[in-house]
Structure 1
Amino acid sequence: MRDEGEAIAPRDGSTWRITALVVMALLGVVVLVALIVTLGGANRQRDQALQLQTHSFDVMILARTLDGMIARSEASLGRYVISGDKRLGRLYYDEWLQAGSGIDQLDRMSRTSTGSRPRIQRLRAAYDLRGKELSLIALSTNYGKNGQALARYYQARDASSLATINQVLDQIIARQRQRLAERTAAAAASVDRSSHIAGVLAVFGSLIVLGAILLGWFTIRALTDRAVAQADADAERKRAEELTAAVEAATGALRVQEAKLRQIQKMEAVGQLTGGIAHDFNNMLAVVLGGLELARRSLKGEATAAHRHIDSASEGANRAVALTRRLLAFSREESLKHEPLVAATLVAGMTDLLDRTLGDAIELVTEDRSDGWRVCADRIQLENAILNLAVNARDAMNGRGTLTIVTGHTALASHAVGQCVAGEYVTIAVGDSGCGMTPDIAERVFEPFFTTKPVGKGTGLGLSQIFALVRQLDGEIGIATAPDQGTTVTLYLPRELSETLADAVAEPAAPATAPRAVDILVVEDDPRVLAATIGALEELGHRVVACDDPLTAPALLDAHRIDIILTDVLMPRQTGPEMIAALPDRFARMPVIFVTGFAGDTEASGVGDHQVLRKPFTLQALEAAIDAVAPHRDTEISIDIAAE
């Protein structure tokens, strides 16, 4: 039992010390709060006294200033009466108005003082009366009655209104002096009282602090171990919480980055897929078009039916070419050809295509209000945008209704539509009589991969591509829709002011005179395309050296007399630009024609300013490309091995 009592005693003593320390702490807090409140009250009273003193000084200064203004105004009037100088008359009038403004300011400063209101009213009444008296003097002077004006001026010097003004101003100044003295005495008394209370509280607080320090010294020693342990535990817990928060933040950021990466990979996959399909498709089309043209040239006699079938095949192949260009544009690898286009003419040229695409149940109505205004854009991309809008409108009408395409023009202010800049715009509005959209759907229609169509019926890329095209052209796009009210999508494209119009014919014009026969090295890894190209060149009367491997091209150049190199761009072992760059210096001036079915090839390093021929090409386009680079007889640059 003795051991247990000895163990309990320290705990009781510790409890007592803690209780006493808490009590002293509370007393210290009470003293500190009282001291703060006392000093705060003293500071507020001092600040209020200073504000009131400042206000009194301001009122006194303003009263004196007002007296001086009135005196200067009357002095200016006297000089005006004597000299008749109208500038002095204007000076009198301006100074008199300033005095009136001073009375207004004095009135505003005295609103909190009930005793000053009657004096201000008397001052204003005397000022108005005095103004009328001085106005008669100024009016007499203005009409040339200087004698009469001078008499009135001397008479007005003894007027009761002037005496009233001076008396009221003196009363206001005297009143402010009295209040200033009262406020100063009150502030001093308040400061003395607060200082006395603060001194007493400071002494009492000092005693409490000393006692708390002594008591706390013993208590702290008893609680040190427990406090240290608790601090360590708290630190560990805080570090654990911070680590947990960091892990959660990193996990969230990682998820966001993963989502962005998946989106980027998705877009890259789409672009690579469409670009690759277009490349292979163009190779096949090159064979088709080349064979058809060779067949057309070989036909003799009245082969009407054969010509008709060949024409149909050519039309289908040309449509496939347009489809390929749209695929390349979708993959963002198509090189754009911006040219001035008349919007109304472009829409008119699409009517047959739109009729065939939309079907007989859709009534197509076009209207031109553009007055011939032009835009600068890529023809295929703009046609594709209009076609996409028309197809979306057909789907919104469930295949039956009225589609309206209106071309017009307007002038927009800055940010009138979206983020547009101020200027003139050509408008292409595509409207339908379909189901319309709710506001929440209309806000998202231009987002990539967003679609309201069933799975398998749409990718959600059409409208987003149109939005990207319009922004690329520095234009804007607007949409007006409501449920059961139809939808109208309007493209706002900047007006093109250049005078040169785009040619209506896509194929290059035939050369005025047939070029002479030249020796051409054809480098192509695809045997079908190589055969078709050789046949086309021989049909045009040229001599051809075939090369199916770009690595063997230098040897063939050494072995044959060559005027022009015609090479594909993308080949497995070596690209066309790489092959040309690796040729010896003696072939540096050799004319080169690059042939490609993938529009992105033209951006490859090494193509430079060389002639580029797009697959599939016609004999006419091939002949024009050769004529553009063929050396003239007087500037022959082909290599003659025998001469070397």
Structure 2
Amino acid sequence: MSYVSPLPSAPRVDFRRYLGWLAAALGMLSVIAIILLVSNVSAANRQRDAALAEQQRSFGVMLQARSLESTLTKAEAALGRYVLSSDIDVGRFYYQEWRRAGAIIDRLERDTREDPAQQAMLRRLRLTYDERGRELSQSALRTAYGQGMNGIGLYHQAARAESLQQMADLLNDLIASERRNLSSRSRDATELVNSSNRIASRLSMFGILLILGAGLLAWLTARAVGQRRLADRDMEASALRAEVLEEAVALRTAELSDANERLRAEAAERAAAEAQLRQAHKMEAVGKLTGGIAHDFNNMLAVVTGGLELARRRIHNRPTEAMQQIDKAMEGAVRAAALTRRLLAFSRAEPLMPAAHDPAALIAGMTDLLDRSLGEQIRVHTDLAPGAWPIWVDRLQLENAILNLAVNARDAMERGGILTIRTANRLLSPGHQADLDPGDYLAIEVSDDGCGMSAEVLDRVFEPFFTTKPVGLGTGLGLSQVFGFVGQSSGKVLIASAPGRGTTVTLLLPRYTGLLAVPADAAPARPVEIDATGRTILVIEDDARVLSATVDTLIELGHRPIACNRPERAADLLAASGPVDLILSDVVMAGMSGPELVSMLVRQAPDAAVLFVTGFTGEADEADFGGYPVLRKPFSMRALELAVDSACDQRPGVTPIAA
């Protein structure tokens, strides 16, 4: 019997020992695949989103360019309406649209800062926009100053300027450039999308590995069920804590919402209170001015009525005293007329009629009006240089300019202060002021110690409709009117200011080298000499009482007046009366203005002189009078005599006649 020893059996491999390692390897492979997939897809998506964003930017640039074109069109159309209607709200809309166009150009410059070619286009567009703004601002300024016809002419001239076509060409070039960029960016975006799809397709094979790994990980997940139960309990506790936290957040949010509503209500109440306070301040200022004017008028009327009543009682038994009372009544009437003219000048209802004036006497005569307008908190100090040179200006418009500057200074001194008005003679050498010829000038400085202005405000201070005052407290036309008036008088406005250091506005006006005329109301009284020869005068006046008084005065002066109470009858009366020496016409009348009527009558009587009389010119300005003299109402017999003689002797002239 043989003995066979058994062979050793092969060792059994326990694969369960390696399942964990295999699961870990598959998990790591899955993680790597996911990271690769996510990173590649994310990179492709970022590139695609960047390309789409560039497309969107191109669309935005083209839309902004079209919006700029539309805004410029609306602004110029609004300016046209403003020039025709002189409506301040329409002018303010033009100014807002023009500034909005400038803001769109700023956005275009920001959006195209990475494109040098487009930046160059926008620099040229900005220069053309600024040039166009200066052309249009001249029309707006003339209209704001009440020179409607000049504003219309400048507007039509600006409509034919080269800058308009240049802006249109630049906008079209910008849009064409952006369209080319858009086409290139669209191709790039399409290529990036296709590349993203290819990457996603190549990486989709890793999905198979993920599925295999999922099967293995399912077994591993079964082992983790027990641990998951513990984790679930922890999650339930976390969810409970989250609910408590959400309730606390909701409660706090409700409290914040209630606090926000209370703040809004308080803000609305504060805004309403501030509006009421501003209105109260405005009414207080108007009340002070009108109260002072009413006080002055009552005093003047008391002098007139009292003097006339005493004269009537004493005319028979004490004629000398009666004449004294009549002289006092006349003085009161002249003072009332002077105050009325200042009010008309303040409301811009007087034509621009320059004459030679002594600046020191003119400023000294404004003391009462300044005191009434500025209130008790503002002290007015005058420093009038002796021997100040005379100037050739419209007195009422200069007074209006000084009053405008004084009111602005008052608003800058909220707690009161000192307003200084100073005059000085200045000799400008060549090159001292770019816009002024060298020579002799009179400087009128209006200074305050108020809050001052920043450099940004100074750059725009003379723009029509620009104001730093709250809504309802300023139109933005005061300084632009001062600028326009001084420019028409061949002068210049200088302004110096800094925050906290006050403001000084200087009016430089050319020196007048002729003789100062003596106003009629300041000339020594003398008896009116009656012209025995007399003149035939056609008197056109639609107010029956004024017509009667004027006719009686002319008869007293020895003339032969022909009364006409309606403008439409003037041509027939002129034809029936034969040759006349003078046509004396009111300016503002029902149905037809004086300048319109005279333009018709002078063709019928070309040899007749013309004299306008008015107390309110309405829409007429110096150009509408055709160079004929103007006598302001109310006028004295002496003033009427001088006006008739001057008109008949000199024929058409531009010299204003003071009453």
TM-score, L = length of structure 1:
0.48
Higher RCO, 1 or 2 (CA under 8 Å, sep at least 6)? 1
TM-score, L = length of structure 2:
0.47
